[in-house]
Amino acid sequence: MRTIKNTITLFLVLFLGKVAMGQYAYFPDRGTITFEKTVFLKNLIKRYAAYSKDEESRNAFKGLGDAAPENQVLRKTLKFSPNEVLYEHIVEDYPEVTQGLMQMGIFESGISSYQNLKTKEFKSTFELGGERIVIADSTLRIKWKITNEYREIAGYQCRRANGLVLDSIYAVAFYTDQIPVSGGPSAFNGLPGMILGLAVPELHYNMFATKVELSPVTISSAEFLKKKDKPLNRKQVYDKLNAVVGDYLGVKVYNLVMGCYYL
């Protein structure tokens, strides 16, 4: 009798354990992640000043830096499926000074992007100087070096990887292989799992997931763009904006601005 009871107990433990595991990992490759992106505004503007082409521009940036808040937090969501990632900006009310800096293009005023990890298709939208800019290009190729450093983010064990993107911009990412999708926020991708943490020192921002919800999602690149949009590739966008503000900003500042909008 005791043997039968023990057998039934063991069966229930194993069965319920499998059910619990199944519920936890039912949609490990589909869901929605909420991110907080912190832009360290004073430090970013100090870098603009350091990169300025002349004393007049340098003093102008120093004045902006004095008025700017220490940092600004932007909230983002990322929907993911096995082959697609949709990264969206959450529109919120910001302080007047922050809104002014956004309108001037000092830092991003709402980047959203789409990546197809299978076809290597990439689309991105943002506003600069009141104009909606649309990029349609291939996904970025990032040189990653995986390390043995780990940290927990949003309840997931994440591993650190150091990357080089756009030839010279250094980035640090933390990814989890518990979400087997090789994507991440903005234009980042290419690691053996989802990126839940990101820091780009030269652009003075970091981004960390605050919540991960595993559930079925629908992602469509067709809904990402508007009918009147006229997409350009990254080089075309670079050349177009360079013709307008490149001479005024100087090469080093302009490249930094574009890095903020590409990444």
Q: Is the residue at 250 inside a domain? A: yes
pLDDT bracket for residue 8 (50, 70, 90): very low
Q: Is the residue at 220 inside a domain? A: yes
Q: Report pLDDT digits (tens) over 98-111.
A: 888 888 888 888 89
Q: Is the residue at 146 inside a domain? A: no
Closest CA to 69 of 91, 90, 93, 99: 99
* The predicted structure's pLDDT at residue 28: 87
Count of domains for the chain: 1
Burial zone of 22 (CB within 10 Å; 0-12 exposed, 13-18 middle, 19+ buried): exposed
Using CA atoms, how far apart are residues 115 and 85, in angstroms rounded to an integer?
5
Q: Report pLDDT digits (tens) over 17-76.
A: 444 444 444 558 999 999 999 999 999 999 999 999 999 999 999 999 999 999 999 999
pLDDT bracket for residue 221 (50, 70, 90): confident
Q: Report pLDDT digits (tens) over 121-175.
A: 999 999 877 788 999 999 999 999 999 999 999 999 999 999 999 989 999 999 9
Q: Is the residue at 84 inside a domain? A: yes
* The predicted structure's pLDDT at residue 26: 53
Q: Is the residue at 180 inside a domain? A: no
pLDDT bracket for residue 229 (50, 70, 90): confident
Which residue is associated with the tokens 């004095």?
66
Using CA atoms, how far apart are residues 63 and 58, in angstroms rounded to an integer?
9
For the whole model, what pTM was predicted?
Answer: 0.88
Q: Is the residue at 87 inside a domain? A: yes
* The predicted structure's pLDDT at residue 222: 74
Asked if residues 185 and 198 have their Cβ atoms less than 8 Å apart, the reply is: yes
Using CA atoms, how far apart are residues 135 and 150, in angstroms rounded to an integer?
34
Closest CA to 180 of 192, 167, 162, 169: 192
* The predicted structure's pLDDT at residue 69: 94
* The predicted structure's pLDDT at residue 127: 85
Q: Is the residue at 187 inside a domain? A: no
CA-to-CA separations, 79 to 70, 88, 92, 101, 127, in angstroms, rounded: 30, 8, 19, 28, 22
Closest CA to 71 of 35, 90, 46: 46
Which range marks the domain in which residue 203 is found?
26-137+196-262
Instruction: Provide the 8-state DSSP code for 242.
Output: I
* The predicted structure's pLDDT at residue 262: 94
Q: Is the residue at 50 inside a domain? A: yes
